[in-house]
Amino acid sequence: MTKAATADDGSALLSWQSRQRRVVTVYVPLLIFVFILLFPFYWMTITTFKPNAELYDYKNFNPFWVAAPTLANIKKLLFETSYPHWLFTTMLVAVCSTVLSLVSSVLAAYAIQRLRFKGSAYVGLAIYIAYLVPPSILFIPLATMVFQLGLFDSPMALILTYPTFLIPFCTWLLIGYFKSIPYELEECALIDGATRLQILRQITLPLAVPGLISAGIFSFTLSWNEFIYALAFISSSENKTVPVAILTELVQGDVYQWGALMAGSLLGSLPVAIFYSFFVDYYVSSLTGAVKE
């Protein structure tokens, strides 16, 4: 056997071992992770289109498949409940809370990172620590304020309370992103006579678009899925958000309307998925930093 043939055999063996190692260490764990991640959505989907006969009879029907798909659960959800209004309220609260949080976070993050006042680093740390306080503790004093301001049982109560946990994290996120933008760009603008507000609007924000979108996705998702505040501050059926309404309105005593529940959960998760799909590239780029010096 020649040396060339031996070298080829050794190279082929190493390549085969490398492929095996890659399958074991990368693809198999990835497949397991994807399965665990997507199975709840698959279960919601098949339950949404199952008739009641299949939902409660696993002896004669496969629990992991739909034998006779039906739209009765979606029809009941959309036309026999206030789900469209719940969806509108949730969208209104999520959008308004996200916009309010982003505006406040941009101003706070820019002031802490760029103005460089004494103790700015400690202020940024304190803001992030505020995010770590559990909402289950904060909603008690917030409930008192909501009652005193006459905002109980209105979407405005949620719009004004959600930023209490959105602004700290978004500010901390944007501080790190503004830090990656070269300060020399702003110094040149200051020399040319630009004001801080002009610099923020015309230089910093255009470069920080991926960071803003990342913070916006985080804020929108958290506002859309929030449960504790929505449960504590809203009592009337028409003003409830989707996460609270599908649990409190579609469960009557000990009777769970599983088809409508899963349909509500599935339709409620679609706006977030669509919103994320449009901006996923910006979200990924925000994780790698902004303009480098």
Q: What is the pLDDT of residues 237-289, one digit of tens each?
A: 888 999 898 888 887 777 778 888 888 888 888 888 887 777 766 666 555 54
**pLDDT score recorded for residue 10:** 53
Residue 17 pLDDT level (bands cut at 50, 70, 90) = low
**pLDDT, mean of residues 103-116:** 86
pLDDT tens digits along 22-80:
777 778 888 998 899 889 888 888 888 888 888 887 788 888 888 888 888 888 888 88
**pLDDT score recorded for residue 97:** 94
* Residue carrying the six token digits 């002009």: 198
Residue 290 pLDDT level (bands cut at 50, 70, 90) = very low
**pLDDT score recorded for residue 9:** 53
pLDDT tens digits along 208-222:
888 888 888 889 989
Which residue type occupies 97? S
Higher pLDDT, 173 or 23: 173
Do 211 and 286 meet the contact criterion of CB atoms below 8 Å apart? yes
Three-state secondary structure string covering the chain: CCHHHHHHHHHHHHHHHHHHHHHHHHHHHHHHHHHHHHHHHHHHHHHHCCCHHHHCCCCCCCCCCCCCCCCHHHHHHHHCCCHHHHHHHHHHHHHHHHHHHHHHHHHHHHHHHHCCCCCHHHHHHHHHHHHCCCHHHHHHHHHHHHHHCCCCCCHHHHHHHCHHHHHHHHHHHHHHHHHCCCHHHHHHHHHCCCCHHHHHHHHHHHHCHHHHHHHHHHHHHHHHHCCHHHHHHCCCHHHCCHHHHHHHCCEECCEECHHHHHHHHHHHHHHHHHHHHHHHHHHHHHCCCCCCC
**pLDDT score recorded for residue 187:** 81
d(CA 96, CA 159): 6
